[in-house]
Amino acid sequence: MSELANQDRLAVLDRARELLGDRADVAMGLARQYAAVGCQAKAVELANAALDGAPGDGEIRALAGEVLAQTVPDWHFVITRDQVRNQAYAGALARVVTPDTLVLEIGTGTGLLAMMAARLGARVVTCEANAAIAAAAREVITANGLADRISVVNKHSTALDLMEDLGRRADVLVSEIVSNDMLSEQVLPSHADAALRLIRPDAHVIPARGRIRAALAHDARAGTRLMDQSSGFDLSAFNRLARVHYEIRVADPRLALRSSPADLFTLAFDGSQPSRDGRTTLELVSSGGPVNGVVQWLALDMDELGLYENEPGRGESSCWASLFWPFAAPLDTKPGDVIRIGGYHTQERVRLWRQPD
């Protein structure tokens, strides 16, 4: 649908909203129509109004759930259960926040990190581009009695206006917009923009750095994801369409490290490094045994004292998964064998591979 047609449809929906009133079933119907034309903010507002207007209506609950949840990744319901992560952030905030501190948070989510800072006495401005998440976070923050200290702004961080939204440059920048591969949630460009426009030159940035780490590994179930024979036919040519890498939970016993960990890339989040792509080669020394790929995970240096790392094989769970990059063919290695690994990152992606001998 063209942009002009969408604008016409929005105008019709706005007029219908004026004429039809605020009955729960009407609000729900309009919410679905607004969602269909990409007007998320109004869709979320009306879906919540429908839920409030008919709290016992199962059909409205089901329909509202579709509108509210369609743009909300499931990992939002996982990350807050990672108590090691939560403690790392809480400790870093406690080391820098005072009652005079202005904190900028990028990516509100549930509001947990913003509330940690506010509990320490800070004034917090937290931004969230997703309207459904921003609305839910406001409810959470209000329910916890911190609405007077936290402002939730329904914008992407790059759309924030310094004076209108913050009032002055922030003393602390905190975020948790790192993904399993570190970069695909735009942590580098978002932090670079904030360093340029929104925070003080001497602001504390939490986390201060991210390190992409890697090791040789053996996935005991690597072969189960690929095709071979089925009903008497060879399907192996279809394996060309398999994803180049895949996720493995870091506590999964199927994964065994076969070398010491090494830092593939170290990325500053305080804007002190120019934003550019990077390429490197690692020589990883095998501890012996079968190796069928390289595993990648993340380490977050909260500051000079605090560290969060989700290294596989420790038996600890993490809200982030490791990424496994399988080799074209497995290797049977001896202790001391050197395997060369290539790595490349853009601002939003990481790629790993085995270098030829």
pLDDT digit string, tens, across residues 230-256: 999 999 999 999 999 999 999 999 999
Supply the pTM of this predicted model: 0.89
pLDDT bucket at 59, cuts 50 / 70 / 90: very high
Residues tagged active-site = 176, 185
15 has pLDDT over 90: no
For the stretch 128-180, pLDDT in tens is 999 999 999 999 999 999 999 999 999 999 999 999 999 999 999 999 999 99
The residues near 270 (Cβ < 8 Å, ≥ 6 apart) are 173, 191, 195, 203, 205, 208
Q: Which residues pair with 32 in a beta bridge?
A: none
Neighbours of 55 (CB within 10 A): 10
| pLDDT at residue 260 in the model | 97
| pLDDT at residue 2 in the model | 55
Mean pLDDT of the chain: 93
| pLDDT at residue 5 in the model | 62
Q: What proportion of the chain, given as a percentage, has pLDDT over 70?
A: 98
Q: What are phi and psi of 238, to 5 degrees?
A: -70, -20
64 has pLDDT over 80: yes
| pLDDT at residue 22 in the model | 73
Q: Which residues pair with 115 in a beta bridge?
A: none
pLDDT bucket at 1, cuts 50 / 70 / 90: very low
Query: Which is more confident, 94 or 314?
Result: 94
Q: What are phi and psi of 154, to 5 degrees?
A: -80, 70
Q: What are phi and psi of 130, to 5 degrees?
A: -85, 120
Peptide bond into 207 cis (omega under 30): yes
| pLDDT at residue 273 in the model | 73
20 has pLDDT over 90: no
Structure tokens at 99: 């009652």
Block residue for tokens 């080669």? 281
**CA distances for 59 relative to 17, 48, 70, 296, 320, angstroms:** 21, 14, 17, 44, 34
CA atoms of 8 and 22, how far apart (whole Å): 22
Q: Is residue 67 helix, strand or coil?
A: helix
Q: What proportion of the chain, given as a percentage, has pLDDT over 90?
A: 80
| pLDDT at residue 12 in the model | 76
The stretch 334-346 carries a mean pLDDT of 97
| pLDDT at residue 274 in the model | 67
Q: Is residue 325 helix, strand or coil?
A: strand
